[in-house]
């Protein structure tokens, strides 16, 4: 099946049989990524009285209890509720089932060599994605094409799919200048292959999250200035076989009333029609 869509003055076509997932397959009780030292995702057979939820143990069907922390156990999507007191489930922040998305690859820079800002501060050996890098990578894309933005960092080994992020493997993040640029370009759905758009130990400020959703530093109340129809997806993995370029994205999530849920962003290549 092929989909034809108009974006601005141009017409594009996508082959819906050629989906490319940029989610990490989460393996309960197996190899998986983790952040902040949070326990791994686990799966446990449900046993209630005579019922055993395991066909290998004589049960009539399989039924497992999954335990996970969406923010730390793999690909996940967040809503503004991540930083404010009010509930705002992720599914309410996605108002388009399909949206234009640009995928770019960026080789993050060493913070000590960057003339950009981050609050509260950058450690000199941190690796960061900068505004200047984004400006260069996105110069040929219009704001209409940048409803979604997926950032793949280089190098891009498959070990990202089971990486443990801690002080020995300090994750990449954006400078505030970079996030201000993303905000200015009107990106509604931001996807990154690192565990947080903010520095891992940032004194709880979450300055980049707040810039993206237009929530002032220190404010935990949802007000009229906040941009609720936007999401941040973290810990994606775009395989090397998925080329940088222009796509349509289907951001698949469960309908759970919480600030972050496991997710599966799926890309379909957009080809411009004559």
Q: Which domains does the chain have, with CATH numbers?
A: 2-25+75-272 (3.50.30.50)
Confidence of residue 274 (pLDDT cuts 50, 70, 90): confident
pLDDT digits (tens, 9 = 90+) for 41-70: 999 999 999 999 999 999 999 999 999 999
How many other C-beta atoms can be found within 10 angstroms of the C-beta atom of residue 106? 18
Given this model, what pLDDT does residue 234 score?
98
Average pLDDT for residues 270-274, to the nearest whole number? Answer: 94
Give the model confidence (pLDDT) of 70-120 as tens digits: 999 999 999 999 999 999 999 999 999 999 999 999 999 999 999 999 999
Percent of the chain clearing pLDDT 90 (strictly above): 99
What is the rounded CA–CA span in Å between residue 252 and residue 12?
22
pTM flag (> 0.95): yes
Query: Any idea how long the chain is?
Result: 274
Q: Which two tokens stand for residue 227?
A: 């941009």
Residue range 129-153: mean pLDDT, rounded: 98
| Percent residues over pLDDT 70 in the chain | 100
Closest CA to 178 of 132, 114, 113, 225: 132
Residue 161 pLDDT > 90: yes
Give the chain's mean pLDDT.
97
User: Which tens digit of pLDDT belongs to each residue from 204-236?
Assistant: 999 999 999 999 999 999 999 999 999 999 999
């Amino acid at each position: 099946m092929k989909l034809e869509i108009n974006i601005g003055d141009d017409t594009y076509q996508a082959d819906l049989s050629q989906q490319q997932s940029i989610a990490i397959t989460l393996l309960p009780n197996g190899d998986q990524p983790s952040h902040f030292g949070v326990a791994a995702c686990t799966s446990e057979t449900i046993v209630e009285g005579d019922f055993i939820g395991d066909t290998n143990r004589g049960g009539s069907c399989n039924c497992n209890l999954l335990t996970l922390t969406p923010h730390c156990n793999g690909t996940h999507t967040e809503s503004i509720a991540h930083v404010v007191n009010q509930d705002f489930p992720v599914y309410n922040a996605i108002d388009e089932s399909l949206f234009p998305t640009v995928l770019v690859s960026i080789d993050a820079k060493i913070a000590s060599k960057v003339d950009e800002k981050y609050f509260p501060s950058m450690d000199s050996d941190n690796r960061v994605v900068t505004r200047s890098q984004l400006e260069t990578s996105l110069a040929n894309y219009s704001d209409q094409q940048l409803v979604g933005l997926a950032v793949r960092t280089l190098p891009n080994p498959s070990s990202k799919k089971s990486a443990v992020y801690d002080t020995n493997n300090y994750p990449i993040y954006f400078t505030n200048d970079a996030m201000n640029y993303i905000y200015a370009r009107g990106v509604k759905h931001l996807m990154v292959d690192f565990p947080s758009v903010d520095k891992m130990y940032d004194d709880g400020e979450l300055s980049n999250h707040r810039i993206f959703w237009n929530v002032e530093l220190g404010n935990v109340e949802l007000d009229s200035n906040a941009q609720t129809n936007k999401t941040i997806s973290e810990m994606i993995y775009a395989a090397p076989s998925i080329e940088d370029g222009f796509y349509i994205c289907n951001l698949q999530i469960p309908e759970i009333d919480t600030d972050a849920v496991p997710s599966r962003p799926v890309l379909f290549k957009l080809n411009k029609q004559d």
